[in-house]
Amino acid sequence: MRGKWIALAGAIVVVAGGWTGAWLYARHWLAGQVEPFLTDLERNAGVRLTCPQREISGWPFRMDLTCLHPTVDMPDGTHVEMARLVGTGVIDDWHLLRFAVEAPVRVAAPDGSTAVATFSSLVASLRFEKERLERLSLAGDGLDVEGEVAGAGRFATAMAHAEAHVRGNPDQPEDADLAASFKGLTIGRAPDTLLPAPADGSADLSLTKVMVAGGDLPSWSAAGGQLLVRDVTLSLGETTFKAVGQGGVDADGYPTGSVTLTGHKPEALIALAKTSGKPLNPAVAGLGTAMLLMGKPVNGDRQIDLSIADGGKVSAGAMALGRVAPLF
């Protein structure tokens, strides 16, 4: 019996030693790939990513590549600084890569606009199917962003939680599905916030032909691309606005399409503004007023059918509302 225990212990030592050797080999290989990757990224995409202080850890079941004080310079001149960036691969799911960012994140645009973001967590993940990117996700908690837009003044916004997901459509390889949501959105700083209460929202969208377009709006329009709005929701207190529809861009750059807007308890916005003591944001107030004055009753809610056609002409039913400018 004692001999069996000794043999088992020896086997464990051999396996552990082999596993450690394989992990160290993978660590050495990864360390040798960083600089070529950064060089290729700058040469092929025009994005300069620096990782001046790096460390590889995570033994035995992960591979963590940590960059301290990384920076990103985009082709348009935008500069981004992060406190720390950690990329992680897990041994039992090499198709998933996870990137965690540590606050603060500072952004400076070439026109002089700046922003500083803080958060309790911010994580991006990429899932691959064979060599194809199958899904890209971004999620954050305790998000707070403030800064200054050149020529427009300072701004501030915060969200308790936000996430966004983009994935290819397995049934339609030319299309992409997008889903996003946020909770506890505030705009401005108390007591001068633009919303009378924190807002929640979500979106469920699809972009057709986006995978075969040339990467810009004119080529997407030429390919016959469409934006499918399955559901967009904004909730503010007891009031909820929903949008469902589809749209695109014509050959002259004008938006086209139709959307159905539904308002649940739009009149509650007035009571919410009175209770909070804050005036309504003009856009939100305008939408609520339009629902009350123009919306047709549908199952206790208010509904407006909007359309854009004929060179950007916007109408609600038979009522002309104006015209939008071309997008290109």
- Other beta carbons less than 10 A from residue 241's beta carbon: 21
Confidence at residue 23, expressed as pLDDT on a 0 to 100 scale: 65
Provide the Cα torsion 143, 52, 127, 121; round to 10°.
Answer: -20
Reported as a single tens digit per residue, the pLDDT across 82-105 is 999 999 988 777 788 899 999 999
**227 occurs within a structural domain:** yes
Q: Which residues pair with 314 in a beta bridge?
A: 308, 322
Do 197 and 277 sit in the same domain of this protein?
Answer: yes
User: Residue 16: inside a domain, yes or no?
Assistant: no
Tell me, yes or no, whether 226 lies in a domain: yes
188 and 220 within one domain: yes
- By the 8 A CB rule, do 136 and 177 touch? no
Q: Per the structure block, which two tokens stand in for 59? A: 């033994």
The Cα–Cα gap between 286 and 280 comes to 9
Domain of 43 in residue numbering reads as 35-168
The answer to whether residue 27 is domain-embedded is no
324 domain residue, yes or no: yes
pLDDT at 10 over 80: no
pLDDT digits (tens, 9 = 90+) for 304-324: 999 999 899 999 877 888 899
Instruction: Indicate the residue among 168, 201, 217 that finishes a domain.
Output: 168
Cβ–Cβ under 8 Å, residues 106 and 81: yes
> 134, 168, 202: which is the final residue of a domain?
168
Q: Are residues 185 and 150 in the same domain?
A: no
- Tell me the residue type at 238: E
Q: Which residues pair with 62 in a beta bridge?
A: 90
| Count of the separate structural domains present in the chain | 2
Q: Which of residues 149, 168, 187 is at a domain's end?
A: 168
Q: Are 307 and 254 in contact (CB under 8 A)?
A: no
What's the whole-number mean pLDDT along residues 72-90?
Answer: 93
Six-digit token string for 313: 């002409």
